[in-house]
Amino acid sequence: MTFSNTMKKLASLLTVSICLSLVAQGQLCTVPDNFFPDDTLVICTGATTYTVNAPVLPGTIYTWSDGEVGNSIVVNANRKIWLRMDDGVCIKTDTVTILFNSFLLSPEITDLKLCKGQPAKPLPVKGQNLLWYKDAIGGAPNPVLPVPSTIDTGRITYWFSQTLKGCESPRLPMLVRVIDTPKFELGDAFIIPCGTLGITLQVVADEETDYTWSNGSHAVAIVAATRGQYSLYAENMCGNHRDTTVAVECEDRCVKFPNAFTPNGDGRNDFYKAGVNCPVPKYKLVIYNRNGELVYQTRDPLAGWDGYWKGKVQPMGAYVYYSEFFDFVLKSDFTEKGTFVLYR
């Protein structure tokens, strides 16, 4: 039980006792049980002062909590006040809280993030008799909570108010953002120019997303200083994405040919084939013996010669290779010819 209710109860009991005594003497109490229309009065006119009025009863003594007398009092701040009325027959007290309209009366608002293409969540706004608007000032109110669209990414601001005891609160904004799963491309394989420290790999920063490069960096950009594979993993509340690219140095080509091989069945270097470090969409390799006879050919950059021709083991010695290929990194066609040695 609150203090004010306790006081009211005690005052009521005292009043009943006094009134019973006075009624027995033929006198009646004219003071009502409640002086104010409600326990709380909200002032929503924008005024900075408010006059609290009590019932006018001739011959009644009015005593306010701050010592003032009379049937009215001027209030200029949020406060709780009480009034005691004495008509000579009975004494009664009533309490009222005065609240001037302020942001304390506005609804509870929380900004919201949604994912593109997923069902919209309920808007996180709490209050009574909620209204929403498209603008901070003006515009028509709508009592039906909006449902944001998640068809595409973007942001929109809704303005909300609530109405308490007939007073509409100031409007507060709610920012709703629709975001997407991370999307980016690191691009095709690239060349690190000679004499440079490397190539910068970078994505457009997204404040909603966490990034992790293959080297452990969480920055939005790294420097690729040496040949190799580089990848980036990105994740946010809506999903994740990964992309990988390859770096080669300026003197590198996608295809390189060794100068020897040893087809002795030991599982090491048993085939003569190209070393391929990036995609090769077009490829041809032919091999000739010392007599100019074609002993092997292929269009598969991953295939190689096993040292046999017409089902027979070929002798040790020098052989000639000829190749045509398209270099994915350098974006050019190349023709290469050379010799290699077969060892057993």
pLDDT, residue 44, reads 75
Q: Whole-number mean pLDDT of the chain?
A: 88
Look at residue 13 and give its three-state secondary structure. helix
**Interior angle at CA 26, CA 24 and CA 29, nearest 5:** 90
**Contacts for 177 with CB less than 8 Å, ≥ 6 apart:** 111, 112, 113, 114, 154, 155, 208
Distance, in Å, from the CA atom of 319 to the CA atom of 290, rounded to the nearest integer, reads 6
Q: Could you tell me the domains of the chain?
A: 3-100 (2.60.40), 104-179 (2.60.40), 190-249 (no CATH), 255-342 (2.60.40)
pLDDT, residue 25, reads 57
pLDDT, residue 258, reads 94
Q: What is the pLDDT of residues 64-89, one digit of tens each?
A: 999 999 999 999 988 999 999 999 99
Q: Does the CA dihedral 101-105-111-114 come out positive or negative?
A: negative
Give 199 or 22, the one with higher predicted confidence.
199
* Residue 164 near residue 106, CB atoms below 8 Å: no
* pLDDT > 50? residue 100: yes
pTM: 0.53
pLDDT, residue 15, reads 46
Q: What is the pLDDT of residues 28-69, one digit of tens each?
A: 999 999 999 889 888 876 678 899 999 999 999 999 999 999
- 310-313: Cβ within 8 A, 24+ apart: none
Look at residue 285 and give its three-state secondary structure. strand
Give 298 or 227, the one with higher predicted confidence.
298
Distance, in Å, from the CA atom of 60 to the CA atom of 176, rounded to the nearest integer, reads 58
Q: What is the pLDDT of residues 241-264, one digit of tens each?
A: 999 998 887 776 778 899 999 999
Distance, in Å, from the CA atom of 142 to the CA atom of 105, rounded to the nearest integer, reads 19
Two tokens, residue 249: 């140095």
Look at residue 82 and give its three-state secondary structure. strand
